[in-house]
Amino acid sequence: MRVNPRFTDALVRHFLNLQAYFTVGLLVVIVFIIFIKGISNCSLSFMLTYPEDMGRHGGIFPAIMGTVFLAALSIVFATPLGLGTAIYLTEYTRESRLTTIIRFGVESLAGIPSIIYGLFGFIFFVIKLGMGWSLLSGALTMTIMILPTIIRTSEEAIKAVPRNLRIVSHSLGATKWETTVKVVLPSAAPGILTGIMLSIGRAVGETAAVIFTMGSSLRLPASLMDSGRTMAVHFYILAREGISMEKAYATALVLVVSILAINILAYYTMNRVIAKYS
């Protein structure tokens, strides 16, 4: 017997709705649990004071700053490199064996588990180059780790810029570089920004690669060569070593809220940029 297509249609629509709600629901549940468990220990002074007794007492100020430093540095290193690669791949070369190899390399880089990056960073930056456990080792390791995301998202964003904009720019006498800087990149900005924001999220949330390279010092890093810890690492150590589950959840709450804030900020900026141009 033939099933009524209208019935199938309605069924599918409800089913798809359900899936969407389920996804959002998961996010809500996770944030809710973290919120309930963390809010009692989370306060402004928790965010602004130094930890005491391995984190059993006191706040997480150094961890917050460590997270900010690490994320900012890795973005500063990775963005020019990743954007440059994306511009090269899309604007300055034709599809060839070389581009296939580069893309394959980027894909492979993206698929490597973060612990491997941690080990590599430890062997190369910490030991071989003698940087020790430091902000710099951590940031360089994170740079390699987020590079594929930045390259891929930038490349897609640049490719989506209509070809005729490049042509008309050339017809007005602009060189390739002028066209890239003044037409292509501004048009691709929302996409590029998304990639950067995703990368910040990744750097903020990473633990394995960071412990191996940046170490886990509880002090506030005062220079590039100082060790430090991020909120994610702090959370991991507090929970793993049974130091204080209360403080761990409070840290997690700050972490989750800041990631949400970054995403909302990214979304807002992106819409502003898009609204300006279209």
List of residues contacting other proteins (CB under 8 A): 94, 162, 164-165, 167-175, 178, 182-183, 186-187, 276-278
Q: CA 218, CA 247: separation in Å to the nearest integer?
A: 14
CB of 277 to other proteins, least distance (A): 4
Minimum Å gap between C-beta 34 and other proteins is 40
Minimum distance between the CB of residue 160 and other proteins, rounded to whole angstroms? 12
Q: How far is the CB of 174 from other proteins (least distance, A)?
A: 5
Q: Give 126 or 185: the residue with its C-beta nearer to other proteins.
A: 185
Side chain identity at 43, as an amino acid letter?
Answer: S
Torsion sign (Cα): 258, 193, 148, 131: negative
CB of 278 to other proteins, least distance (A): 5
Smallest separation (angstroms) from other proteins to the CB of 172: 4
CA dist., res. 245 & res. 22, Å (int)? 28
Give the nearest distance from C-beta 275 to other proteins in angstroms.
8
Task: Provide the total of helices (H) and of strands (E) in the chain, helices listed first.
Answer: 12, 2
Measured from the CB atom, the residue of 24 and 168 that comes closer to other proteins is 168
Between residues 174 and 270, which has the closer beta carbon with respect to other proteins? 174
Nearer of residues 74 and 179 to other proteins, judged by Cβ: 179
Written as one letter, the residue type at 259 is I
Q: Are the C-beta atoms of residues 156 and 110 closer than 8 Å to each other? A: no
How many angstroms separate the CA atoms of 259 and 200, rounded? 9
What is the DSSP secondary-structure string of 133-166? Answer: SSHHHHHHHHHHHHHHHHHHHHHHHHHTS-HHHH
Residue 138 burial (CB < 10 Å; 0-12/13-18/19+)? Answer: buried
Q: Closest CB to other proteins among 110 and 174?
A: 174
CA distances from 63 to 126, 198, 241 (A): 20, 20, 17
Min separation Cβ 272 and other proteins, Å:
13
CB neighbours of 141 closer than 8 A, spacing ≥ 6?
A: 117, 118, 120, 121, 125, 209, 210, 212, 213, 214
User: CA-CA distance, 136 to 115, in Å (whole number)?
Assistant: 18
Which residue lies nearer to other proteins by CB, 32 or 92? 92
Pick 127 or 168: Cβ nearer other proteins: 168
Q: Which lies closer to other proteins via its Cβ, residue 177 or residue 268?
A: 177
For the four alpha carbons of 115, 119, 120 and 124, in that order, the dihedral sign comes to positive
